[in-house]
Chain A
């Protein structure tokens, strides 16, 4: 019976029902559709962010919206230096790296190599935990500077603009009270909501990866005869990486 099915599967009429026209398993198709709906969720957050941010630009030079480089310019153990984008780039590197180890685990799963799957999954979990640690550090610094959900004191005054404009990468720099003023209210709230939503995805991804790794180590997938669960967890993990690409672009680069 099994041979009969495999032999004629491709000859079945594609849309006549009774088979998947996508040639993927039910679980994987549902994961793809979940990711599509999750993409809509993140997109609606980014649409809100984009409309709020670009409706607060007055002229090309003076912007009421705080420049991300003036806020996210810290790096651990390098206090008082102006290092914009450096820390998030490290976070991006960690996430890309964990994506690579994830896809290597999926590839090892295709070869049904249990040992390699478990090893690469552990690397992926470590990468995800490192990313979460970085994000916790960044949040704590941001909150320590006075960020709240209800207000924004990160607007830059004319005096601040002059000092800040002359700043170079790696210069010593401390914000003085006269450089800053109130800015558009949703700035910090949007940052917390979008990076928090992404961080929560990373967190749940790490949990899923831990569960799947334990299952793999206990030989559950060997008994099933396929490692498709690793692929499904991998799809989710890569999606988290994909969302970070856009969070990185819209919150730090632009």
Chain B
């Protein structure tokens, strides 16, 4: 055979094999290779929505108290980057942001990706980028900034590393604040830079979160927090919570949870309980403050009035339990007293008497009395139930009037003076608002609405739909309660603490703490509360103030909480410029 024919056959055979192979790869396996290539080329990137800012009110103008800042993480490919160059650049522009041990990064064999700095400002990041060092890139991230520092940390909450709001408004209104992330799906090059190649590219723009305006007054909040922290520093108490509301609208004007933490550095908190908002998340026994509610119920039902009398014994025995008055003095014991006196001296026997009146039998607690009390406590004052405020809330507990337990009447007797039940401060304050505002229960709120681009505040739709406004007490009942509460404090007026021209009413409460399921009778572990209102003399209450102070192993009577109220009520009058009436 002619030898060149061998070469010709080699050519034809080789190219026949190649043609068949190409047919196999490009026609038969085409779909599989396309799928494999797409998997490699397609980049899915989340377009992060801008989180809404949080505003407080100041001089009736919204001011931002939570904002966003764009920061950058610096990422390097240690295998290709200029080691000395990037080290020098980082040390020069972002020394405090270096988050990795650079020497260790560079000595790790085979490492191709390392985040070496976090939280780098835009200016510093662009200066580093200007150096043009190979194998260095930047990842943008949004950081939450709290320019007021620790102010109102219990209201605000924080945003965790995953961008999720936690605690406070950040947590409860996360959906409104966070907006909706968009999606970018595109064909990208080997360095994940999107290419214009391909018709399968998708871009869903992000919906930015909405700016939220709180009803909280920034200046008042700051003042309240400073005063309260001061009081705390000079007291054995470890914690204090203060609530200032407009009883006529249900709006929260200030809400302090002390000690505060810095939401911008939330990780520094040692005990996660510091994140709690004590006013809404922690149910407790508000104690004698609750006497207002049983008194209101009995008066409203026409079963008694302020001057109805009863025979005050040192204790009363119910279901075999002796329930004692905290106040044991000769001028009170075994005397006929008015209900007004019972409230002023915070006599437990007196509040139990109100329950007896409510049940139409002055000598014992009846089923009808329990049912009516439950109707007021649970259905009208909504105690033990979440109020619907725009914050994370706990519920609480009120005994059912037909509960199948031994000593149900004793439990109800306890409930008249705010024990053997639980409720949060916001529940208590909202119910108390109804007692003093003319009898209207209104859903409390801490959010005015969202701020649109025109600077208008649009109320939250959830609030509009779920807002309760319920007339639960007669005008006269409310007026009688206000009168008693003001007179309860009249000695403060004489002492020069409350000022002429103003009506300041209030009631204290001292609760035993339940330890291991039983009341701690040692009286060394007490929570003190005080609730009251301020008004120009003879007018309706303008502001409601509730204080609470406690500390582990600390016997804190309503006295400390009352002293705090005394200071704060005057501060609120001054700050809110309430004019006196004569």
The reply to whether chain A is a binding partner of chain B is no
